[in-house]
Amino acid sequence: MIPFNKPFLTGKEAHYLYQAVYSGKISGNGIYTQKCQKFFEEKYSFKKTLLTTSCTDALEMAAILIDIQPDDEVIIPSFTFVSSANAFVLRGANIIFADSSKESPNIDVENIEKLITPRTKAIVIVHYAGIAVDMDKVMELAKKYNIFVIEDAAHSIDSYYKGHALGGIGHLGTFSFHETKNVISGEGGMLVVNDERFTKRAEIIWEKGTNRSAFHRGEVNKYGWMDIGSSFLPSEIVAAFLYAQLENLETIQHKRIWIWNRYFNDLKKLEDAGKVKLPVVPDYATLNGHMFYLICNSYSERNNLIGFLRDKGILSVFHYLSLHKSPFYKDKHKRGELIWSDYYERRLIRLPLFWELKEEEIDYIVKSVNEFYR
């Protein structure tokens, strides 16, 4: 069976784990945490980064930082992972679900403005499959209406919009290092603080509401309770694992992008014949090889293709279920149908994409998809 995903190990993880364990400091914010944060700050010019135990946690930190109050409104695409919305619901926000666009599962930027009200506090952007949303338009709206932009960049490591690294454009950005992402630490994430107004408070929220980070730097001679917060920082064990991955980022990215292009070129004929649609990468966006998806012509066709591939020993999967129709939110959603979100829920299929995927396996997967459509 060809799995859908297989975690990639660089070989250095166990070594760094050992070093972290025997260094005498295993809790968070030690040497490996600093190394990882520095890596991101230097490579992508992120102003301030904080490792977290997940992207979900980073999103929860973002909701605290922008001071979400009950009944504030947050605009979020319906076609995303629950955490993009849940983090704000935890603080009492009302979620205004936005539709995807006709061209891609990304939020339809042209339709954001009509969702804005005097209660709108923030817009959450998800760069689906690591392919950028048109951020100039989003940031223009944010400026015009004085609202915050949070980039849920969980898919988007090492991807760019007009030369700017994703996650570094909105006021805040969040990343995931969950086992299913390009770079992993089992569970793990990161908050990126791009707006300097949030830097100091972010560190306090991260450290259970205390100024322990400032204390460790010797800036204050005792630390205490300064604000609300939680235990958002990962242990050095997680950071050590992550660092081994970051050292190999280029190798990982090179291979994943190669696989992505291989799929794209090999399946182009099928698109030209009108059988499927392939991902669209706008001029302003780059690829990061996070995910390769196809859009089928109907729900039943998509499900049959998944079944057909499974019979051939290939695990392909669908993706998000529209959040506005979820059991938890359907009665709270008051804005009618979101046809494009439902369209991607019903027609999108993701093909296996992981570092160890072999050329023969890609050929076999492409051949099998073609066979289905013959």
Place of tokens 């977290």: 52
Nearer to ligand PLP by Cβ, of 5 and 94: the residue is 5
Distance from C-alpha of 31 to C-alpha of 24, rounded to nearest angstrom: 11
Q: Compute how many residues bind ligand PLP; rule: CB under 6 A.
A: 14
Supply the minimum distance, in Å, between the C-beta of residue 135 and ligand PLP.
Answer: 16
CB 253 within 8 A of CB 289: yes
User: Residues 270-289: x/- map of binding to ligand PLP (CB under 6 A)?
Assistant: --------------------
Q: Give the separation between CA 129 and CA 270, rounded to whole angstroms.
A: 21
For residue 322, state whether it binds ligand PLP (rule: CB under 6 A). Answer: no
Looking at the DSSP bridge assignments, the partners of residue 172 are 150, 193
Near ligand PLP by CB under 6 A: residue from 10, 29, 56, 120: 56
DSSP output for 41-103: HHHH--SEEEEES-HHHHHHHHHHHTT--TT-EEEEESSS-HHHHHHHHTTTPEEEEE-B-SS
Q: Which is nearer to ligand PLP, 81 or 263 (CB)?
A: 81
Position among 83, 86, 213, 341 found at the interface with ligand PLP (CB under 6 A): 83
Query: Between 176 and 253, whose beta carbon lies closer to ligand PLP?
Result: 176
155 makes contact with ligand PLP (CB under 6 A): yes
Closer residue to ligand PLP in complex, CB, 56/316:
56
The alpha helices in the chain, defined as continuous H runs, are 13-22, 31-44, 55-65, 82-89, 135-145, 199-206, 212-216, 236-246, 249-272, 299-311, 339-347, 359-373
Q: What is the nearest approach in angstroms of ligand PLP to the Cβ of residue 300?
A: 26
Q: Angle 32-33-38 (CA atoms, 0-180°, nearest 5)?
A: 95
- CB contact at 8 A, 302 and 349: yes
> Measured from the CB of residue 78, what is the shortest distance to ligand PLP in angstroms?
12
Nearest to residue 184, comparing CAs of 220, 157, 148?
157
341 is a site residue for ligand PLP (CB under 6 A): no
152 or 236: whose CB is closer to ligand PLP?
A: 152
For position 55 contacting ligand PLP by CB under 6 A, the verdict is yes
Using CB under 6 A, which residues numbered 185 to 244 contact ligand PLP? 189
Helix (H, G, I), strand (E, B) or coil at 190: strand
In the list 176, 185, 235, 341, the residue contacting ligand PLP (rule: CB under 6 A) is 176
In one-letter notation, the amino acid at residue 278 is L
Sole binder of ligand PLP in the list 48, 121, 171, 178 (CB under 6 A): 178
Could you tell me the smallest distance in angstroms from the CB atom of residue 156 to ligand PLP?
9
The span of 77-85, 104-112, 191-199, 216-224 binding ligand PLP (CB under 6 A) equals 77-85
Q: Are strands 160-161 and 94-98 parallel, antiparallel or unpaired?
A: unpaired
Cα-to-chain-centroid distance, residue 363: 28
193: tokens are: 């603080």
Q: Is 49 in the site for ligand PLP (CB under 6 A)?
A: no
Among 89, 133, 141, 154, binds ligand PLP (CB under 6 A): 154
> Helix H segments across 312-355?
339-347
**Which span sits near ligand PLP by CB under 6 A: 18-26, 71-79, 97-105, 152-160?**
152-160
The C-alpha atoms of residue 259 and residue 254 are separated, in whole angstroms, by 9
Task: Give the range of 80-88, 112-120, 298-306, 359-367 binding ligand PLP by CB under 6 A.
Answer: 80-88
Instruction: Report residue 296 as tokens.
Output: 């089928």
- Residues 119-148, one symbol each (x = binds ligand PLP by CB under 6 A, - = not), give -------x----------------------
Q: What's the min distance (Å) between Cβ of 77 and ligand PLP?
A: 9
User: Which positions touch ligand PLP (CB under 6 A)?
Assistant: 54-56, 80-81, 83-84, 126, 152, 154-155, 176, 178, 189
